[in-house]
Amino acid sequence: MARVAIVTGGTRGIGRAICEELKQGGMTVVANYGGNDEAARNFTAETGIVTYKWDVGDHQACLEGCAKVEQEVGPVDVVVNNAGITRDGTLHRMSFDDWNEVMRINLGGCFNMAKACFPGMRERGWGRIVNIGSINGQAGQYGQVNYAAAKSGIHGFTKALAQEGAKFGVTVNAIAPGYIDTDMVAAVPEPVLEKIVAKIPVGRLGHAEEIARGVAFLCAEDAGFVTGSTMSINGGQHMY
């Protein structure tokens, strides 16, 4: 029986690439999304992957959404916490709502999805959780105290939950992408983007498919000895 995977924020950008990669690897994939119904419909029409709508920052919505997936598709074996937003600005200009919304979705979403799916993985003795962090959670970034804090929190969350899951056959890992050629990065002004690319040793932006391949590796049947790790896929921009 095929493993069932939920990818949050799964209908566009990196999330879409992850969904397609996992499906190609033989998994039954479900894409969660939060708002854009038209994009979700187009995604399903083009990929054949079903979508479920809920806000990952809403704890009860995650519990109910994942229960619905389990009932209609099957027990959830893989969770990829990819959903995320930005509300950039310096601390001087950042509102509490800008801070809170990024923390609620980017970091809170990881907790909510784990609470919904980790118990079942533990009981069945197998599971894979992959959390999408960021180079900016590792190195920080001007104007992103909210985003950097949330993504840095994901890395700590990953290491702690990995210790809980290890003896139950549940691995928990993170991927920290660098700058990837998605819509989010495309919105960056061209002069700023040129300066960013100039700092990437490989001399280009990354591709969503490159992140997806990393996720597929961490979700594989034979990846059970990899847990608590953060895989940096950033073209050499940040090394430590």
Q: What's the confidence (pLDDT) of residue 127?
A: 98
Give a yes or no: residue 237 inside a domain: no
Give a yes or no: residue 239 inside a domain: no
Give a yes or no: residue 41 inside a domain: yes
Q: What's the confidence (pLDDT) of residue 189?
A: 85
Q: Write out the two tokens for 70.
A: 């389990």
Give a yes or no: residue 205 inside a domain: yes
Kindly state the helix (H) or strand (E) to which residue 67 belongs, with its residue range.
helix 59-72
CATH number (domain holding residue 9)? 3.40.50.720
Range of the domain at 216: 4-232
CB of 47 within 8 A of CB of 18?
no
Give residue-wise pLDDT tens across range 175-230.
Answer: 999 999 988 777 788 888 899 999 999 999 999 999 999 999 999 999 999 999 99
Give a yes or no: residue 17 inside a domain: yes
Give a yes or no: residue 221 inside a domain: yes
Neighbours of 88 (CB within 10 A): 15
Mean pLDDT of 40-63: 98
Please name the residue ranges forming H helices in 84-219. 96-102, 108-124, 135-139, 145-165, 183-186, 190-198, 208-219
For the chain, what is the domain count? 1
The answer to whether 147 is a known catalytic residue is yes
Considering 33, 52, 142, 147, which one is annotated as catalytic? Answer: 147
Q: What percent of the chain has pLDDT over 70?
A: 100
Give residue-wise pLDDT tens across range 154-186.
Answer: 999 999 999 999 999 999 999 999 999 988 777
Q: What predicted TM-score, i.e. pTM, was given to this entire model?
A: 0.96
